[in-house]
């Protein structure tokens, strides 16, 4: 043992906390500077740096003989993090351009981001090697530190912003270094203090200021604020004020002057629903800068706006830009709720005459490690069933999305509506739709369009009003019940066999479900490599498929090398191969479980931040407790205890897959904090089982195999997050959980052969 166990445990916990803090913060930063799917790609590969630290110790035992090595590794992690991050923020990467120079910049970002993770991984794996007899305790503190890092990240990003949050991680790395430093190393202690002083002064230097955002300079910014799931900025263009979320999705603040200019002038194509629904009750989903709220007010409606981002509501529309917008969000007849719209609708009994959802998306990565792409529970069959349920008998659902030469987003909206109607309001559908586009405005190869969907057929008077407005404004009518020409929209609505229509259509427009909520990914897998030939606006989303495939290929190679190369170099035999397969399986499965549970919890808790924090903390704290409970297992009992632990985990996992939906449904209408506790209960039970497998397996290894197992488990964890999304897009999140159950069974079988000599 290196020195007293409590100091080593503190060092592990501090380092693990810093790692997760950095991981979550980089996800937020990369979502802004690179775009969300590049955040997935970069962090997936970057996190391999953690495992590569273990590989280093497996190949070379040099540092194991140096008592000062652990402290130096933690110090290097703390020193390189702000240095590398500042360099990354100055690299201009254009996410919409595929070129060798651009890929070179991306490669540079990956390398720079990997460096601190390499030192952190080398530090943790070295402590595991030197203290293998207490690994159950150390792994427990590892997981508890990670749980603390999750909570700390959410808090610090909201308080000081994402670019400065890694400085706290650097300080934690230094704390780890001081915890394991040998007594009497005065020069090293002075170096640590000096580094802490440098970290404290860095915010004043501008070194960690965002410079290059998606390849461009972020100009004209007059407001910027971060929270755990977005960076909200406001830019000025003359008298206009435009809000951007993660420098992607944009919404213009509706000025008081614009509101006086007339409905058509400020609302444009989005006004159509209010020409046939006046003096009514309106729900606006994602009101943002307030254009749809203003349109509803002008026509005498009362408005409920449901906006998920509190910065937009409190800091902008009710704060800095309240006067500019004529206090729109505080106007009589307006009620603004800060919540997820889908979750809000599931909990209210109110009926609406209009439900308005105009181009609601954020293109934001919301969780650590790039666990997600751009799932949306606003565009699923179950969501559309909810919308229809909350419409009055004569209510209208109006949705705005982009239209491209080969229809994709809007035609998928129609597919969703048809499927929801099949389940709730079957009948003749031809007179329930009206669709127009505005050719006067083009962006990224697409033009804006609006569809009106009614529970009941549109009346002749309503249709005539919509036709007249479309002619007056020179809109293109893409679907009208009386339209005689053929186009994809007409053909889908009139189709007698929609499954055959979806199969024959060049894009994937089948209706997504809550179990497979990938609305924005419309390419079929066979066309993934043609993504760069698609319109720019479409490519923002579909490029994620290409990059997901690329990340999967890279991680498959890296994981295979991690598994095979040490077996060859060290001439390990059949038993070592089964040991490696065991750690590979539990690494893959753990991340699959974590990824899916975060997704399932998002709808239940109504916010990705709450989902991420609750799931991760519950699983990590419980897994740490499970690891702690294995600390007194004798070596002679390892095989028996591990076998029983695998069986118990498989049973608990199976029960979770089957019963969790019922459990969540029972608490769906409770207050938020009650729901968080209700969700944490089954996750804690599951986490207790999950936390036993890694420490029991590590204790069955010899000292030389520990870094290999650490590296393999870490590499498999990264691969697991990618495979989880792949599998979910094909078969749904529930199938991913069953795949995790299978992997745990395979881990148990591997352990049986591997531990034959114990």
Q: What is the pLDDT of residues 273-301, one digit of tens each?
A: 999 999 999 999 999 999 999 999 999 99
> What pLDDT score does 369 carry?
38
What average pLDDT does the segment 510-520 reach? Answer: 91
What average pLDDT does the segment 651-676 reach? Answer: 93
Is the pLDDT assigned to residue 214 strictly greater than 80? no
What average pLDDT does the segment 521-540 reach? Answer: 74
Q: Calculate the alpha carbon distances from 519 to 299, 409, 466, 730 in Å.
A: 32, 8, 28, 13
Pairwise CA distance, residues 519 & 396, whole Å: 22
SS (H, E, C) 152-182: HHHHHHHHHCCCCCHHHHHHHHHHHHHHHCC
What average pLDDT does the segment 302-308 reach? Answer: 95
Phi, psi of 372 (to 5 degrees): -125, 160
Is the pLDDT assigned to residue 344 strictly greater than 80? yes
> What pLDDT score does 50 carry?
82
> What pLDDT score does 373 carry?
46
> What pLDDT score does 37 carry?
66
Is the pLDDT assigned to residue 543 strictly greater than 80? no
Selection from 44-48, 362-366, 486-490 with the highest mean pLDDT:
486-490
Pairwise CA distance, residues 641 & 633, whole Å: 8
Token pair, residue 228, equals 């755990």
Q: Are 521 and 363 in contact (CB under 8 A)?
A: no
Q: How confident is the model at residue 371 (pLDDT cuts 50, 70, 90)?
A: very low
What average pLDDT does the segment 692-706 reach? Answer: 88
Pairwise CA distance, residues 653 & 597, whole Å: 12
Q: How confident is the model at residue 59 (pLDDT cuts 50, 70, 90)?
A: confident
> What pLDDT score does 237 carry?
92
Is the pLDDT assigned to residue 510 strictly greater than 50? yes
What average pLDDT does the segment 666-674 reach? Answer: 89
In the three-class reduction of DSSP (H, G, I as helix; E, B as strand; rest coil), residue 516 is classed as strand
Is the pLDDT assigned to residue 585 strictly greater than 70? yes
Per-residue pLDDT tens for 450-481? 999 999 999 999 999 999 999 999 999 999 99
Q: How confident is the model at residue 92 (pLDDT cuts 50, 70, 90)?
A: confident
Q: Are 451 and 414 in contact (CB under 8 A)?
A: yes
Per-residue pLDDT tens for 228-268? 888 999 999 999 999 998 887 889 999 999 998 888 889 99
Least confident of 443-452, 536-545, 674-683: 536-545
Helix axes 706-731 and 672-699, enclosed angle (nearest 10): 140
> What pLDDT score does 362 carry?
53
Q: Calculate the alpha carbon distances from 531 to 19, 216, 239, 584, 730 in Å.
A: 34, 22, 37, 32, 18
Q: Are 402 and 539 in contact (CB under 8 A)?
A: no
> What pLDDT score does 43 carry?
63
Q: Are 306 and 383 in contact (CB under 8 A)?
A: no
> Measuring CA to CA, which residue among 655, 658, 667 is closest to residue 605?
667
30 vs 99 pLDDT, higher one: 30
Q: How confident is the model at residue 569 (pLDDT cuts 50, 70, 90)?
A: low
> What pLDDT score does 561 carry?
82
Token pair, residue 712, equals 């393999």
Mean pLDDT for the chain overall: 89
> What pLDDT score does 573 carry?
55
| Distant-in-sequence, close-in-space partners of 174: CB < 8 Å, separation ≥ 6 | 74, 75, 78, 192, 195, 196, 199
Q: Residue with structure tokens 């106007």? A: 331
Q: How confident is the model at residue 570 (pLDDT cuts 50, 70, 90)?
A: low
> What pLDDT score does 190 carry?
94
> What pLDDT score does 575 carry?
56
Please say whether the dihedral angle defined by the alpha carbons of residues 499, 503, 506 and 512, taken in this order, is positive or negative. Answer: positive
**In whole angstroms, what separates CA 492 from the centre of its chain?**
32
Q: How confident is the model at residue 1 (pLDDT cuts 50, 70, 90)?
A: very low
Q: How confident is the model at residue 270 (pLDDT cuts 50, 70, 90)?
A: very high
pTM (two decimals): 0.89
What average pLDDT does the segment 131-154 reach? Answer: 93
């Amino acid at each position: 043992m290196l020195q007293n166990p409590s100091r080593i445990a503190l060092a592990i916990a501090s380092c693990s906390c810093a790692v997760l803090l950095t991981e979550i913060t980089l996800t937020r930063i990369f979502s802004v500077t690179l775009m969300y799917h590049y955040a997935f790609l970069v962090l997936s590969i970057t996190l391999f740096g953690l495992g590569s630290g273990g590989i280093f110790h497996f190949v070379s035992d040099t540092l194991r003989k140096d008592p000062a090595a652990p402290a130096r590794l933690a110090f290097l992690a703390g020193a390189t993090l702000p240095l590398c991050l500042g360099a990354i923020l100055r690299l201009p990467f254009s996410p919409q351009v595929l070129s060798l120079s651009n890929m070179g910049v991306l490669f540079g970002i990956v390398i720079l981001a990997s460096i601190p993770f390499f030192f952190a991984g080398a530090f943790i794996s070295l402590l595991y090697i030197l203290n293998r007899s207490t690994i159950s305790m150390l792994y427990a503190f590892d997981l508890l530190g990670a749980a603390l890092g999750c909570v700390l990240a959410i808090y610090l990003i909201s308080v000081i912003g994402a670019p400065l949050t890694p400085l706290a991680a650097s300080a934690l790395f230094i704390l780890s270094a001081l915890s394991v430093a040998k007594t009497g190393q005065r020069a090293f202690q002075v170096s640590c203090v000096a580094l802490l002083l440098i970290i404290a002064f860095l915010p004043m230097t501008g070194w960690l200021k965002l410079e290059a955002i998606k390849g461009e300079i972020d100009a004209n910014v007059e407001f910027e604020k971060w929270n755990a799931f977005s960076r909200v900025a406001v830019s000025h263009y003359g008298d206009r004020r435009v809000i951007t979320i993660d420098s992607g999705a944009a919404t213009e603040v509706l000025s008081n002057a614009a509101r006086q200019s007339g409905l058509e002038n400020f609302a444009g194509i989005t006004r159509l629903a209010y020409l046939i629904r006046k003096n009514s009750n309106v729900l606006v989903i994602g009101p943002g800068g307030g254009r749809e709220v203003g349109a509803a007010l002008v026509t005498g409606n009362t408005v409920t706006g449901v906006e998920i981002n509190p910065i937009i509501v409190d800091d902008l529309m009710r704060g800095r830009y309240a006067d500019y917008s004529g206090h729109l969000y505080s106007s009589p007849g307006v009620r603004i709720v800060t919540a997820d719209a889908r979750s809000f609708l599931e909990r209210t009994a109110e009926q609406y005459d209009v439900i308005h959802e105009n181009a609601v998306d954020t293109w934001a990565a919301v969780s650590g490690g790039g666990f997600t792409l751009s799932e949306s529970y606003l565009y699923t069959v179950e969501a559309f069933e909810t919308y229809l349920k909350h419409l009055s008998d004569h209510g209208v659902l109006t949705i705005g999305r982009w239209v491209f030469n080969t229809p994709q987003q809007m035609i998928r909206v129609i597919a969703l509506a048809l499927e929801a109607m099949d389940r709730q309001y079957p009948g003749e559908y031809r007179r329930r739709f009206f669709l127009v586009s505005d050719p006067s405005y083009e962006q990224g190869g697409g033009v804006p369009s609006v569809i009106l969907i009614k529970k009941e057929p549109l009346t002749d008077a309503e249709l005539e009003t919509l036709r007249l407005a479309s002619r007056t404004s020179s809109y293109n009518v893409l679907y009208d019940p009386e339209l005689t020409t053929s186009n994809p929209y007409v053909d889908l609505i009139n189709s007698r066999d929609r499954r055959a229509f979806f199969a024959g259509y060049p894009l994937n427009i089948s209706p997504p479900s809550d179990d497979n909520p990938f609305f924005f990914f419309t390419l079929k897998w066979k066309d993934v490599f043609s993504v760069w030939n698609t319109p720019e606006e479409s490519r923002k989303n579909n490029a994620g498929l290409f990059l997901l495939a690329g990340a999967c290929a890279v991680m498959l190679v890296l994981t295979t090398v991690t598994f095979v190369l040490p077996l060859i170099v060290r001439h390990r035999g059949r038993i070592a191969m089964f040991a490696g397969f065991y750690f590979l399986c539990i690494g893959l499965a753990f991340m699959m479980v974590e990824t899916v549970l975060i997704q399932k919890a998002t709808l239940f808790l109504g916010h990705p931040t709450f989902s991420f924090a609750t799931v991760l903390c519950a699983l990590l704290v419980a897994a740490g407790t499970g690891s702690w409970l294995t600390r007194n297992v004798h070596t002679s009992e390892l095989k028996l205890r591990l076998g029983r632990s695998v069986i118990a985990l498989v049973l608990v996992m199976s029960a979770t897959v089957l019963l969790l939906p019922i459990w969540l449904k029972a608490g769906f209408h409770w207050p938020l904090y009650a729901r968080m506790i209700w969700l944490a209960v089954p996750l804690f039970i599951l986490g207790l089982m999950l936390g036993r497998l890694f420490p029991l397996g590590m204790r069955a290894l010899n000292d030389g195999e520990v870094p290999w197992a650490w590296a393999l488990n870490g590499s498999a964890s990264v691969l697991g997050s990618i495979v989880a999304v792949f599998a979910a897009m094909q078969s749904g999140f529930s199938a991913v959980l069953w795949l995790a159950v299978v992997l745990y069974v395979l881990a148990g079988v591997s352990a049986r052969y591997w531990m034959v000599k114990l």
